[in-house]
Amino acid sequence: MSVEKELVANLLKIRRITASHFPIGHSFIPYDILLTVLDFHINQKKLTVKNLFVVLPFSDMGLRYHFNRLLNSGWVELVKSETDSRIKEVVPSAKLLSNFSDVIIKLKK
């Protein structure tokens, strides 16, 4: 199989599996929010709400809508910063980490 065909097949597989485990819907915004939260978590970096909105290339209004939906449905959580109580950090919830583990297992098959 050519590199191009293999890449497209893998991307389609990832998209199909993640769509069945994450609340992605018809927008890439929640998908990018969840991936960014997981990326910062896995790399043991702090992610503030402000930084999340800065690193993603979407409008504040679109980000705020999808972020609040993910927050209210328990996919991400907010915790107070250990260094500054005015700052809130975004962390993955147990629900997100569990579903991410399921995605990894299915991708290995």
Average pLDDT, the chain: 93
Q: What is the mean pLDDT of residues 40-59?
A: 96
Q: Please check the confidence at residue 43 and state whether its pLDDT lies above 80.
A: yes
Q: Does 12 have pLDDT greater than 80? A: yes
Q: How many domains does the chain have?
A: 1
CATH of the domain at 66: 1.10.10.10
Q: To which residue do tokens 């250990």 refer?
A: 82
Structure token pair of residue 55: 């690193």
- What domain range is 29 assigned to? 3-108
Compute the distance between CA of residue 85 and CA of residue 92 in angstroms, rounded to an integer.
Answer: 19
Query: Residue 1: is its pLDDT beyond 80?
Result: no
Q: How far is CA 96 from the centre of its chain?
A: 8
Q: Note the residue count of the chain.
A: 109
- Find the mean pLDDT for residues 72-92: 94
* pTM, two decimal places: 0.90
Tokens of 65: 């809508």
